[in-house]
Amino acid sequence: MTDALAGAFEQQRGRLVAVAQRMLGSRADAEDAVQEAWLRLARQDAGTIGNLSGWLTTVVGRVCIDVLRSRAARPETSYDDGLPGLIVLEDDGTLPEQEALLAESVGSALLVVLDALGPAERLAFVLHDMFGVPFAEVGEIIGRSTDATKMLTSRARRKVRGTDRPAAERRRQRAVVDAFLAAAHDGDFEGLMRVLDPEVTWRSHYAHGLVVRHGAAEVVAAVRRGFRATVTAHPALVNGEPGVVVRTPSGKAVGLLACTVAGDRIVEIVSISNPRRLAALGVTPEQPSSSK
């Protein structure tokens, strides 16, 4: 394989991983799908590829379909060691509105609605509505006519739109999480209790395993024990829900929190501090630059 072709593949890698992750709900599985595309490209006569982007999208899409069908045939098979599939978009203040909407519409739907779709229907929706691939090209990938592909995508779109939430609700949920972070920073016990549901659950994924805490009092006690003034919280969207990436002053990512808000209180927190898991979710080792 020529260096030029390898370089062209690397330019496509980020987009391909994004497509695969939205299909499979797992960063690790997405990386595997893209790696398979790389291996197939290495065996392919480059002279026969007229459109590398389209060819790679086709390969990754079909690999994802195979993975989804395999899961359906063996539903007991788990992936990512039980950690829920997460799509993380860190917001440094310049996150485009369309990306925020993408996280909102695809993040929640990915784990709920899209899991109920057939593999072809799911791929048609992801490729066309999320990545702008023309219906004709999507049809070639899934082996359907253009009209049939439009129908598949339209059906998936109707299901996904049923999960949309008004922008005002998203802002309100973010405000609840921000209030939680402010109270934690200030050591405000009463403030923490105001934003935590009495039956809140906190699942913490550490390198050595999972720790589950139940109830507001237990969560507050853990926050007070674990709070370090030397870390900073950076807003993020995690599966379309308000979340936080925790970093050291040097910018190193040391944790991720995903919060589920109901009403005006947090009812569930999932946190990850395992560096391997953070890397698998695509959380950057260093803080993204805000100078764009």
Beta-bridge mates of residue 266: 196, 261
63-78 in b/e burial notation, b at 16+ Cβ within 10 A?
A: bbbebbeebeeeeeee
Nearest CA-CA partner of 207 in 87, 30, 81, 78: 81
Upper half-sphere CA count for residue 242 (Cβ side, 13 Å): 24
pLDDT for position 228: 57
CA distance 264 to 22: 29
CA distance 274 to 154: 39
Residue ranges of domains in the chain, CATH in brackets: 3-84+97-161 (1.20.140.160), 167-280 (3.10.450.50)
CA distance 129 to 157: 8
pLDDT for position 194: 93
Tens-digit pLDDT profile for the chain (292 aa)? 578 888 889 999 988 988 888 788 777 788 999 999 999 998 888 788 888 998 999 999 999 988 888 876 665 444 444 555 566 777 655 444 544 555 554 454 444 556 667 788 888 888 888 788 899 999 988 888 998 899 888 887 777 665 555 667 778 888 999 999 889 888 888 999 999 999 999 988 888 888 889 999 999 988 877 665 678 888 888 876 788 898 888 888 888 998 888 888 999 898 898 887 887 777 766 655 544 3
pLDDT for position 109: 43
* 3-state percent breakdown (helix, strand, coil) of the chain, nearest 5: 55, 20, 25
CA distance 124 to 135: 8
pLDDT for position 83: 55
**169 contacts 236 by C-beta, under 8 angstroms:** no
pLDDT for position 267: 92
